[in-house]
Structure 1
Amino acid sequence: MATQWLGAIPPPPGVTPNIIDPPSQLSGNIALHTVCLTLATAAVAMRVYTRTVVTCTKMGADDYFCLASFVLTVAFSGLMIKSYTLGIGRHLWDTPPLWVPHALKWFTFAQYVYLILTATIKLTFLFFYRRVFSPQTLSNILITFGITFVTVTHVAILFATIFSCSPIARAWNIAIPGRCINPTILPYLSGALSSATDLYVLILPIYPVWNLHMKLRRKIKLLGVFGLGIFAVAASLVRLAETPVLKSSPDATWNISRLAVWAVIEANVGIFCGCLLLLPAFLDRHLPKSIASSIKGLFSTSNSRRLEKGGSSDASSKQYSWPNSTHSHKVSVSTSSKQHSYQELNPSNSVHDAV
């Protein structure tokens, strides 16, 4: 039993192991998860309340993916906190060898959940875009491509991660006979794909918003609302930039905790920003009317305003209008040969309700 209290690896020269009261990232990580979960809980509650009570619209796929993301982020935090209590966030030379497989086991399970979580967050945004921009053919194609690409790549990375070791349990216990692929390959691959899809989701609304029939200033403000996801993209890029630390040092329990910090920030900021898309409707209900009207004006357009001064646009160009009431609207697309109308039968398809 005495060997239980020796560090898992020898310490660096000049460093004295501290098994009893070692440096640890435990308290900081627990505080981070607590703050992130509190904000995510408030944001998701606001979203569901706004959708079901304020706008009285039917819950859509974007809302259900948002709820799934919230459940998964709670599970992710629970698994990560369990792994912290078993040694993740401590230096390996300060961690008893018998703790390491248990800590890595819980961390590995958290990694599986995280891969699903990041997919559901992206799908929340993409299905929200489909709800808002579906009348536009090109936008619908881009959104469908995004949904397909995110689903396929995340499922592939998930299965590759699960079966990266044979047997699977060798991923957290190297004492088990078997083999594993290079442990740094999948973090690089998943990080790069996650950052790429984050950027795709971020820039996707630019084209349809730019084609809306509104003043340039309001287009920019509206793009600012959709651009809130830039914070999640930034966290994803930082996590990718931190990935080389896994290869540069054998201190695995300490290093993966550093990466996990950016993972939890990325996930919860993504959930938070996805819910903020419904904030204008929430404020419209609960702020004084004068203030709410001012804020609402940042996200909506006046009826039938044209970007160009005093005239109609070229007959061959497409004209899109952004509906701003809870009634049914038609979005017309004019071409030189004929005119097509798209009837929005569900009021939840209007941007006023959705945003």
Structure 2
Amino acid sequence: MILPPTEILLKWPPPDYETPETRGSSLLVASSIFTAFAAVAVALRLYARIFITRWFGIDDVLICFALLFTIGTNVTVDLGISKYGWNRHTWDVPIEWIDGSLKLAYATKILFLIAANATMVSLLAFYYRLITDVNIRWFRLALSSSIAFNLICWIVFLVLQIVPCIPISAFWKVSTEAPCADEGTVLVAGGVVKTFIDVLVTTLPIPLILSMKLRPQQRYGLVVLLALGYIVTAAGALRTYYTWKVFHNPLWDYSWYYYPAFLASAVENDLAVICACVPAMRPLLRPIFGPFGGMLSKVHSFWKTKSTRSSSVLSSGRPPTSIFRSPKSPHAITSKTAIVSDEEHGHLVLQELSGVTIGLTHRQ
């Protein structure tokens, strides 16, 4: 910890430890509400994946970790407000609180990074599972590059947060000689990079959806569903802006200026978890949103069909023919048929590329 310059300290008003001005309790209320919504979203996602679609996977495990670390982040921030005066002016914070306050801030930043990355990787893992059997080379390459870039950036900024000073204890102990990374530069740069990754990951599947042969209502409905991630991006950009203000306030009033940044952080992580859960909750949302609830199944089916047709043409040099029955049969299932699973009603839907749909009922 580096003390403010003497000329800054001389500008501070007398401390008020008894009845200090505070930012109020809006952060405590907001974090509690958004965390509750995030927990409900994860619970509904797990119910849908385990009991309805029976498609539980690594992305579900990662979102559970993301929720745990998001809750941990919010708990440390709430503790900082209630115990260490994170909603006060810096000059109204008793000196004996500073050591514990900075230790808690150290833990909060690490928890936030882990929570944010777990949510991001969960979403990318979901994209991978969606195209497991599909040979879309450009999308796989873009997806792999996004995961690699995200992990590299996360590791770099996590190391900078874990080792902000040498020794690490210099972060919360008063020192003027210990070498420390510029905290403001690290946090703002990390915020900018994370916002860029948020935009990248949210935008990544949209060209895939727009190129599909779906009805306009379905196509744009899916785009809107995936574009919910831009709300998280906006929260991240807001957090980055408030973080920048923390280190550019003229009186070094860190605790006062950090408050809106902490508020944006809590909302950002909780919203990220909620938005990442919405696609996986489609069987539960079908009664509410009608046909939009099952459209993600069609994404996988369409591209799997398209990939199969392309591979067949390339290998044989001629258009694909029936893969199960003779094309002469009026109910032949050809390679032009997309198999769409309807988890709610317990049947398979065979959707021809021409738009004809045949339903085959099956028993569980």
* TM-score tier after normalising by the smaller chain length: 0.7 to 0.9
Mapping 1:1-355, distance limit 5 Å: 10=9, 12=11, 15=13, 17-25=15-23, 27-57=25-55, 59-84=56-81, 85-134=83-132, 135=134, 136-175=136-175, 178-249=178-249, 250-284=252-286, 287=287, 293-296=290-293, 322-323=300-301, 331-334=307-310, 338=314
Whole-Å separation in 1 of the counterparts to 2:256 and 2:341: 45
RMSD in angstroms over aligned alpha carbons?
2.8
Q: Which runs of 5+ in 1 are unaligned?
A: 1-8, 302-320, 342-348
TM-score computed with the length of structure 1 as normaliser: 0.79
1:106-133 Cα deviation digits (max 9, x unpaired): 0110101111111111111111111113
Q: Which runs of 5+ in 2 are unaligned?
A: 1-7, 321-338, 344-364
Q: CA deviation at 1:295?
A: 4.7
Whole-Å separation in 2 of the counterparts to 1:40 and 1:48: 12
Q: CA deviation at 1:283?
A: 2.8
Distance 1:294 1:173, change over 3 A: same
Distance 1:211 1:270, change over 3 A: same
Query: SS in structure 2 opposite 1:222?
Result: helix
Q: CA deviation at 1:330?
A: 7.9
1:225-248 Cα deviation digits (max 9, x unpaired): 111111100001111222321222
1:31-68 Cα deviation digits (max 9, x unpaired): 121111111111000100010112122x2121111111
1:190-233 Cα deviation digits (max 9, x unpaired): 01110110011110011221232212332111111111111100
Q: Look up the match of 1:318.
A: none
Contact 2:247 2:254 in 1 (8 A): no
Contact 1:44 1:272 in 2 (8 A): yes
Contact 2:59 2:122 in 1 (8 A): yes
Task: Name the stretch that deviates more: 125-134 or 223-232.
Answer: 125-134
Distance 1:218 1:292, change over 3 A: closer
Task: Name the stretch that deviates more: 15-24 or 30-39.
Answer: 15-24
1:63-85 Cα deviation digits (max 9, x unpaired): 11111100111111121122222
Q: CA deviation at 1:11?
A: 7.7
Structure 2 counterpart of 1:236, which letter?
G
Q: CA deviation at 1:260?
A: 1.2
Whole-Å separation in 1 of the counterparts to 2:279 and 2:235: 20
Distance 1:11 1:226, change over 3 A: farther
Contact 2:17 2:94 in 1 (8 A): yes
Q: CA deviation at 1:149?
A: 1.2
Contact 1:322 1:351 in 2 (8 A): no
Whole-Å separation in 1 of the counterparts to 2:315 and 2:59: 30
Distance 1:298 1:56, change over 3 A: closer
Structure 1 counterpart of 2:120, which letter?
K
Whole-Å separation in 2 of the counterparts to 1:350 and 1:32: 40
Query: SS in structure 1 opposite 2:228?
Result: helix
Distance 1:333 1:206, change over 3 A: farther
Identity between Structure 1 and Structure 2 (%)? 21
Whole-Å separation in 2 of the counterparts to 1:205 and 1:151: 19
Structure 1 counterpart of 2:145, which letter?
F
Query: SS in structure 1 opposite 2:174?
Result: coil
1:231-269 Cα deviation digits (max 9, x unpaired): 100001111222321222201112222211111111110
Contact 1:87 1:100 in 2 (8 A): no
Whole-Å separation in 2 of the counterparts to 1:72 and 1:55: 26
Contact 2:294 2:342 in 1 (8 A): no
TM-score computed with the length of structure 2 as normaliser: 0.77
Query: SS in structure 2 opposite 1:179?
Result: coil
Query: SS in structure 2 opposite 1:244?
Result: helix
